[in-house]
Chains A and B, each alone.
Chain A
């Protein structure tokens, strides 16, 4: 009976997450494009829904909500579904959409996408070889195998992203790095840009006029075609066409210059906006946060170095350790167990929420920067894949932040993975990225 209630609660929350993912997709990601293939949207929302459910289960674990056996069941089911999606469905669809974009292979789409998927599976399997994750007890197609590989990729991604974020964040927010931009600078650049455009225009006018007079005089400007054409063009070449090639080269150089000027001007405008933003309250607040974060990032890098150098892996989570320290040094007596539960819950909750939010924002920015109307489907699916792997691996890493008794269920479900290895791998990549 309680199992049914629990299941219904889980399913309702899953539907909620699905709806949220759908909305996010429609409003944010695909704001400027038309959704022609609904499959993409569905897959994205489903991945999002199941990833969030995993986090939800962790929170339930800490809080002790729901029956223990039903939790276990849902964990298993959730993991199976997520793995299915991440390893089977999403790569297949990515291959399918890539192949559909290439015109040549349009007829045999399915065949080629299957081929692509098989290559993906091959590399995916090979990925597991150099890492110490195989335990001889379990078979080939078990959950542990798949999760271990997904975990490796996901942890790599996480470390890359967080390393990049650690370095980028202080740069963006701190006003120390902003150089001073005045309006006159911008105006001067704009004037140069317009002058360049005018030069391009006058050269193109000459070219167009030359071509027109050539055409009227009956000399059709043919590109030398074939072997004899090339030989002929070496000895005799119309003076008009020579001029044209010269001018064309000048025009190419000028166009490149105009592009550079355009980008520089846009850059100046952006810097000016940042300066203005930093003068407002919000800006000042973020500036302060920026200092704070940069110190935090530096500390993290430092800790990562120490971890690697001294080959140390944290056994107890920071919360318990913090409480122990306070109990020992400050002599304050309070119920360790009670407080550790709540504090760890809050900490884990904050980590989860900020990481989800940060990930979604980064994905959106990334998507805007590189997508076009043709490749938008492929990119969204890639993003869904990254998101899924990121969430799976953050579950693995969160284990470190949780007190001992809550780790049991994760350990139980995921088998005997070498968690320590993961943490060290994370630190290595984080350091490299920084």
Chain B
């Protein structure tokens, strides 16, 4: 069992956007009943069949590392968090569609995670300003997920979705907007009808590391 390859994916975002619910949904195929604050980091594992149905099918363990906290945390907390950012294969950035600030903070989150990787000495080179050029040669695939779509009123949805489309473009990332709600899910096993792009996500993450 441990012989299967491992894929480490970080799930980053502000407090209260729904990271723990998302991770729980992906791994347990159930909705998290009582979400509480994540202290430190919580990990969950999903078994995924890459390229299902084709002769190159391979089963992977996808580890979803759900890191808690906010971008404005004390630098001691940031330094502690940095220990989780080693050798990451992919990053999921989660933001709340009802909260603009959480989308803006995604830039800072990605800087925090990526800078740690690029500069192994742990010293932040930039002063925190966002620069598209930094992401140009980024090998790590990013995925932007917007949550709580159901809490936005019908007529405001269009402008919110256009705004988030720009956001995803800035990161050169794929984008999914979704709702994590009980009534969208059936009880049997792996089928998740409310999450149509799942296969695309799985393929996108693993494609980049299939270079052997």
- Chain A contact residues, CB within 8 Å of chain B: 31-34, 190, 193-194, 197, 200-202, 204-209, 212, 215, 220, 255, 258-259, 261-263, 265-267, 269-270, 272-273, 368, 372-374
Contacts and interface: CB of A to CB of B under 8 A. Distances in A.
Given A34-B99, A269-B76, 16 more contacts: A32-B14, A32-B105, A190-B80, A194-B83, A197-B41, A201-B63, A204-B43, A204-B44, A204-B45, A205-B2, A208-B45, A215-B190, A258-B40, A258-B41, A259-B40, A266-B74
A374 to B, nearest CB: 7
Contact of A34 (B41, B71, B100): B100
B15 interface: yes
A361 to B, nearest CB: 15
Contacts of B77: 266, 269
16 contacts: A31-B72, A197-B43, A202-B2, A205-B2, A206-B1, A207-B45, A208-B27, A209-B47, A220-B189, A255-B42, A262-B40, A262-B41, A269-B77, A269-B80, A373-B15, A373-B102
A169 B188 CA distance: 58
Given A32-B14, A204-B44, A206-B1, A273 B75 contact: yes
Contacts of B47: 205, 208-209, 212
Interface of B: 1-2, 14-16, 27, 39-47, 61, 63, 70-72, 74-77, 79-80, 83-84, 96, 99-102, 105, 188-190
A368 B76 contact: no
B101 A32 contact: yes
Contacts of B39: 259, 262-263
Contacts of A270: 74, 76
A205 to B, nearest CB: 5
B63 A273 contact: no
Contacts of A273: 75-76
Most buried by A among B27, B43, B188: B43
B61 A208 contact: yes
Main DSSP-derived SS at the A contact region: helix
B61 A373 contact: no
Given A201-B63, A215-B189, A263 B15 contact: no
Contacts, number: 85
Contacts of A190: 80, 83
Given A31-B72, A368-B72, A373-B16, A201 B43 contact: yes
The 3 A-B pairs with the shortest beta carbon distances in the complex, nearest first, are: A262-B40, A269-B76, A270-B76
A262 B80 contact: yes
A1 to B, nearest CB: 50
Contact of B101 (A33, A215, A263): A33
B15 A372 contact: yes
A373 B83 contact: no
A206 B80 CA distance: 28
A376 B121 CA distance: 37
Contacts of B61: 205, 208
Nearest to A265: B80
A202 B99 CA distance: 36
Nearest to A191: B83
B2 A193 contact: no
A107 to B, nearest CB: 17
A32 B83 contact: no
Contacts of A206: 1
Nearest to B77: A266
A416 B75 CA distance: 52
A207 B27 CA distance: 11
A212 B15 CA distance: 31
B118 to A, nearest CB: 20
Contacts of A197: 41, 43, 84
Contact of B45 (A205, A261, A267, A368): A205
Nearest to A200: B43
A34 B80 contact: no
A33 B1 contact: no
A373 B99 contact: yes
B16 A372 contact: yes
Contacts of A220: 188-189
B109 to A, nearest CB: 12
A269 B45 contact: no
Contacts of B76: 266-267, 269-270, 272-273
Nearest to B15: A372
B52 to A, nearest CB: 13
A204 B1 CA distance: 11
A267 B102 CA distance: 26
Contacts of A208: 27, 45-47, 61
A113 to B, nearest CB: 22
A373 B42 contact: no
A206 B190 CA distance: 17
Contacts of B84: 197
Most buried by B among A31, A258, A266: A266
A392 B16 CA distance: 36
Nearest to B1: A209
Most buried by A among B15, B40, B41, B71: B40
B80 A266 contact: yes
Contacts of A255: 42
Contact of A263 (B40, B42, B43, B46): B40
Contacts of A259: 39-40
Nearest to A198: B43
Contacts of A261: 40
B29 to A, nearest CB: 9
